[in-house]
Amino acid sequence: MPSTTTKTWDIFCRVIDNFGDIGVCWRLSRQLVADHNQQVRLWVDDLNSLIRIWPAAQDLDRQQLAGVEVCRWQPEFRSDITIADVVIEAFACDIPPSYIEAMAGLKRAGNAPAWINLEYLSAERWIEDCHRMQSPHPATGLRKTFFFPGFTTKTGGLLREENLLQQRDQFQAARWLEKMGVTPDQRALLVSLFAYENSAVAGLLDTWATGEKPVHCLVPGGKILTSINQSLGKELSDGDVYQQGNLRLQVIPFLTQLEYDYLLWACDINFVRGEDSFVRAQWAAKPLIWHIYPQEEEAHITKLSAFLDVYLANTNDAENQSFANQIRDLWLNWNQSGDIGGSWNDLQALLPEWQGHSREWCELLAGQVDLARQLVDLSADQGR
């Protein structure tokens, strides 16, 4: 239900990972307006990334989109900006010093806003202890609350619009696929492939081409297409279809944020990347394979393993151990350029278990309070 108290919100976003940062911030901004009746101003330093996922956006210093005021975050930030009731610093992006000074002035007047640092998503256990911890700003004494999205009731939860799962269940996949120019073979697995560059894709494509089960792979425009073209020695682009053996690979246009949900709902299995598409794939309740953003010294593999521990926590009995092992092997091989083909073949025999587990996981997450609702509740307890 919408919140009965309307507050003003400033959300600051620096675009680091193409569409991940802006994807999360834009989705949160829209939900705060639509589901909770909040007044949101989104500050973003790269409007081109927003335009790609929300084509109604324009390259303007200021505009209204989906009830959200979107403002360009200029290097020289104006000092006369009205401070919001709730200030969100997305992913430790360091809000402008002049804005902090103005916040400090309000604090001295006994009217400090709520200041929240929205962190990156993680399943690591330590975030449960750090979630909602506060830290004083050394120069001003303003208190910043660290908010950690996550997969347990001791974290900040995940973004999930109020009617998302109902919309998913009412979605007519065949009609949307026809609109996209996709005519799937009823005998084939329909797979979406969205990932960073990955040399493991060569083995995956070869496995699909020589496998017994036909695969129709939809590739939205993105980084993985570079790796696909290198492995095939082709120059595939939007609209192209490549057939080899039992593999039919079809390149579709880069999708808007809304259309990407439709792709996930329409496919049998989804390869996803980063944070935003990873979360949306879990709400699709379909089997998924996650390509986590690579980090130095393989820190991302620790994060990947932490998620798998939570994701597979209910599969430790002897009956389900083989399934859990195959999931781990497939995900780790995809992220470490391992024998992705062998892992894929092994898991296909367990596809019904994979599908069932995906539905059960989605239902478990849906029973938790979503991220936007938790932020609204937190803002009610803090600030003016």
Torsion of CA 384, 135, 81, 97, to 10 degrees: 160
Backbone angles phi, psi at 9, to 5 degrees: -130, 135
DSSP 28: H
Q: Which residues are catalytic?
A: 21, 275
What amino acid is encoded at 359 in this protein? R
Q: Is 283 helix (H, G, I), strand (E, B) or coil?
A: helix
What amino acid is encoded at 37 in this protein? N
Residue-level length of the chain: 384
Q: Are strands 134-136 and 143-147 parallel, antiparallel or unpaired?
A: antiparallel
245 touches 260 (CB < 8 A): no
198 touches 227 (CB < 8 A): yes
What amino acid is encoded at 180 in this protein? M
> Burial letters for 171-186: b for 16+ Cβ neighbours within 10 Å, e otherwise?
eeeeeebeebebebee
**H or E stretch covering 47:** helix 47-53
Secondary structure E strands in the chain: 8-13, 39-44, 62-65, 68-72, 86-90, 114-118, 134-136, 143-147, 189-193, 215-220, 241-244, 247-252, 269-273, 288-291
What's the first-to-final CA gap in the chain, in angstroms?
A: 22
